[in-house]
Structure 1
Amino acid sequence: MHDTPHVIGISGSLRDDSGTRIAVQHALDAAAEAGATIEHIDLREWDLPLFDPDTGAAASGDGPELAARVREADAMVLGTPMYHGTIASPLKTALDYCSIDDVERTTVGILAVAGGGFPTPALQHLRASVLELKGWPLPGDVAIPDSWAAFEDGSIADGDIAERIEKLGTDVVAYAGIADRPEKPERPEVATGD
């Protein structure tokens, strides 16, 4: 782990006015205020062809570089819009380029955005992917339903949602590297009387 926790955020939406991107950036801003260095990986700017294990690195676009950035992070915030009850394909493709060696023991905050009701299935699917990669997902996810009302003019319009996102950002910093901490604190020896 770095002396100062390094947190990356990956937005799984390619939409220009993406609420997911706004939410991930809000979490990263909270992480920065909590003392972390941050980097927002906007998948619109990355060349990530569909993952094909039979192709070499030359046909993988920016996949190897993305995996390296993930590997160097102490914690991540992963955000996805919910499409057809699951995570968006750009984020799934990004995760396909990552191996267990890249994600293992990394603290991960998860959020999902839906145009309608709660994006519970997307949160569950994203959590399952993180666990398969041996990451350490925070127990509290952020669900953002009714995105049409949650965001306004490039910012978060709902104060309760903004607070939950900020907590996610501060929690990824507080728990960065937790998987590497001792499982049980050592107990001091206690003198016994005779």
Structure 2
Amino acid sequence: MRQLNIVGIGGTAKPSSSTEAALRLALDAAGAAGARTRLFGGGELALLPHYLTPAAADDAIGRALVDAVRGADAVLIASPGYHGSVSGIVKNALDYLEETARDARPYLDGLPVGLIVTAYGWQATGSTLATLRAIVHALRGWPTPLGVTVNSSQCRFADDGCSDPAIAAQLALVGQQLVDFAKLRRSAATDA
């Protein structure tokens, strides 16, 4: 049986962002559960031209992102909450999925999608998570039951993990949910 592919999209332009660290922890959990993971972090996303500019169609990172999502069994999206919503670089990356509109499986159709939001305070986490869920629904994806919100003023990330054991457990759980739902989806497709 082919190994599951999970694509992570997110982070900020700032190196070592809490958003990207949280995304990495969730992807690590998916990897520990047997999935192959690919991360498109903030550094790559910051280099993407605005979607629909002439350079966007020929952008190597944009092509790699779209190709990875085309081959994905699940997707994990992490965004900082900027002014109550999704960051520009994460939204721009998701706009690149328009390239899949005419595919046999357009957008995120039928894919489990995990969501993570970080913000310096609680106010932006809820609205940003709701926005991400709306975007995923518009792209025909299935948000996982758990969406993780992290108040980065109270939680720190380092090489060895997360300072808050409850947040670390939630990040691991969303990674595990992606693997579980991707396996269920694959099983249902082979039974049909």
TM-score, normalising length: structure 2: 0.85
Question: 1:40/1:123 Cα in 2 relative to 1: closer, same or farther (>3 Å)?
Answer: same
SS in structure 1 at match of 2:153: helix
Gapped regions of structure 2 (runs ≥ 5) = none
Residue of structure 2 equivalent to 1:151: 156
Task: Summarize deviations over 1:46-81 as a string: whole Å, max 9, x none.
Answer: 5311112677723x4532321111111111111011
8 Å CA contact 2:111, 2:141 repeated in 1: yes
Residue of structure 2 equivalent to 1:192: none
Distance 1:11 1:56 in 2: 18
Residue of structure 1 equivalent to 2:48: 48
Q: Which amino acid aligns with 1:76?
A: V
- Give the drift of 1:11: 1.6
Larger Rg belongs to: 1
Q: Which amino acid aligns with 1:137?
A: P
8 Å CA contact 2:49, 2:55 repeated in 1: no
Distance 2:154 2:97 in 1: 34
Task: Tell whether 2:45 aligns with 1:39.
Answer: no
SS in structure 1 at match of 2:63: helix
Tell me the percent identity: 31
SS in structure 2 at match of 1:28: helix
Question: 1:4/1:61 Cα in 2 relative to 1: closer, same or farther (>3 Å)?
Answer: closer
Residue of structure 1 equivalent to 2:111: 106
- Give the drift of 1:161: 0.4
Over aligned residues, Cα RMSD in angstroms?
Answer: 2.3
Task: Summarize deviations over 1:168-192 as a string: whole Å, max 9, x none.
Answer: 0111000015456649x99xxxxxx
Residue of structure 1 equivalent to 2:83: 84
Displaced runs of 4 or more, over 4 A? 53-56, 177-183
Which structure is higher in helix share? 2
Residue of structure 2 equivalent to 1:124: 130
How many residue pairs end up in the alignment? Answer: 182
TM-score, normalising length: structure 1: 0.84
Comparing 90-99 with 153-162, greater Cα deviation is found at 153-162
Gapped regions of structure 1 (runs ≥ 5) = 187-194
